[in-house]
Amino acid sequence: MTQSDEEDDYMNMVFEDAPKGPTHETALQRAARKRKEGEARARQKTKAEREAEAEEARETALATALPETNKGFKMMAKFGFKQGDTLGKSENARKEPIQVSIKEGRSGIGVESEKKRKLREAWDEAARAAKRSKEEEGDYLEERKQHLKEKKMERDLDSAQRTAERLSGQEDEDKGGQPKEEKQLKDVNVLWRIRARRREEKQRDLQQKKELDNSLTSRLPTLANDEDEEDDDSKVALGRDLNPFYTSLETELEPEDPELADFEGLPVAERLHEVLVFLREKYKYCLYCGYQYPDAAMEGCPGLTEEDHD
């Protein structure tokens, strides 16, 4: 990850092809440098800086072994001591002094390691999240693409269904059959039945709206005889005429259509596929060519799907 970041670090301020400055500094430059250095030296270090420096100096010194030039080393060498040897006669004597570790604050045992563990976990988690977000990013694009594709397929399906309906209507007319409007919903081919269904629903909505409008007008205050002008609801409520009640109930009832439900439950791609196949087989029509071929060979059409037409 870091590797690739370094590769295309567009924030990099090093201009490799920048012209190199003069190799010798001029008197002015030197004076400027000296001044800067002097300022840096004279500046009072902040407390934090001093503490950090002290700690660093300490850690460095703690990590540095005494050199062989140490006078004590020479005295020990007299008794055969060599660099890397241990003292005494036991085999597992220590070579290095015990580590000096300074405890800060009052945190209990295990807090430090717990902190480290948590830090490591957080780090791992961040790494995972970064990886995941990258994956998700890919997913999103993919999904978006899929979504668009589906949308397109839905549009294609719609036009394919329309075409199929049109062609089948033409066929029916040619045969001298019933016009589509009079056809019972269940007699419509399931491949485009949804269109007929939608139309019917729309019709019904319009109908209801009209009825509502009518009933509203009827409620407007009039001076006419109340007895005859009662609306359906009143009639129902008064128990004089129950007919409107039943009819409205009937019209509101959705007729069960498992066949349609099954078909509509299929993914859009499959539905499209079926309609396309139907169009080709029944009417030698290709949606993407937009042309009804004269024979079953459909010469000139590259294939069933849109991709074939690319």
Partner 1 sequence: MATKREHTEESTSATKRVKMENGNGKLDSANNPYLAHWNDDKTASADALADFRRHATTAEQASAAEDGPLNPFTGRSLSNRYMGILKKRRELPVHKQRDEFLKLYQENQILVFVGETGSGKTTQIPQFVLFDDMPHKSAQMVACTQPRRVAAMSVAQRVAEEMDVELGEEVGYSIRFEDKTGPNTMLKYMTDGMLLREAMHDNNLTRYSTIILDEAHERTLATDILMGLLKEVVLRRKDLKLIIMSATLDATKFQKYFHNAPLLAVPGRTHPVEIFYTPAPERDYVEAALRTVLQIHATEDEGDILLFLTGEEEIEDACRKINLEAQDLIREGGAGPLVVYPLYGTLPPAQQQKIFSPAPPPTQPGGRPGRKCIVSTNIAETSLTIDGIVYVVDPGFSKQKVYNPRIRVESLLVSPISKASAQQRAGRAGRTRPGKCFRLYTEEAFKKELIEQTYPEVLRSNLASTVLELKKLGVEDLVHFDLMDPPAPETLMRALEELNYLACLDDEGELTTLGSLASQFPLDPALAVMLIVSPEFYCSNEILSLTALLSVPQIFVRPANNRKRADEMKDLFAHPDGDHLTMLNVYHAFKSEEAQANPKQWCHDHFLSYRALQQADNVRMQLKRIMEREELELMSTPFDNKKYYENIRRALVAGFFMQVAKREGNGKTYTTVKDDQSVLLHPSTVLGQDSEWVVYNEFVLTTKNYIRTVTSVKPEWLLDIAPNYYDIQSFKKGEIKTALQRVATKVQRKEAEKGKR
Helices (H), the chain: 2-7, 27-42, 47-63, 71-77, 111-175, 190-219, 226-229, 232-238, 243-252, 258-265, 268-283
100 near partner 1, rule: CB under 8 A: yes
Among 79, 182, 184, 296, binds partner 1 (CB under 8 A): 79
Binding mask 108-147 for partner 1 (x = CB under 8 A): xxxx-xx---------------------------------
Three-state secondary-structure class, residue 105: coil
Q: Dihedral of the CA atoms 260, 261, 265, 270 (nearest 10)?
A: -10
87 near partner 1, rule: CB under 8 A: yes
Among 90, 176, 224, 297, binds partner 1 (CB under 8 A): 90
Query: Which residue stretch of 19-27, 76-84, 184-192, 299-307 sits at the interface with partner 1 (rule: CB under 8 A)?
Result: 76-84
Distance CA(129)–CA(260), nearest Å, equals 44
> Two tokens at 287?
């949606």
Q: How many CB atoms lie within 10 A of CB 287?
A: 21
CB of 25 to partner 1, least distance (A): 24
50 near partner 1, rule: CB under 8 A: yes
12 near partner 1, rule: CB under 8 A: no
Binding mask 28-47 for partner 1 (x = CB under 8 A): ----------------xx--
Q: Give me the residue label for tokens 């205050």.
A: 221
Which residues fall within 8 angstroms of residue 158, CB to CB, at 6 or more apart? none
94 near partner 1, rule: CB under 8 A: yes
CB of 58 to partner 1, least distance (A): 6
70 near partner 1, rule: CB under 8 A: yes
Q: How far is CA 242 from the centre of its chain?
A: 55
Which parts of this chain interact with partner 1 (CB under 8 A)?
A: 44-45, 50-51, 53-54, 57-58, 61-62, 64-66, 70-76, 78-81, 85-90, 93-98, 100-111, 113-114
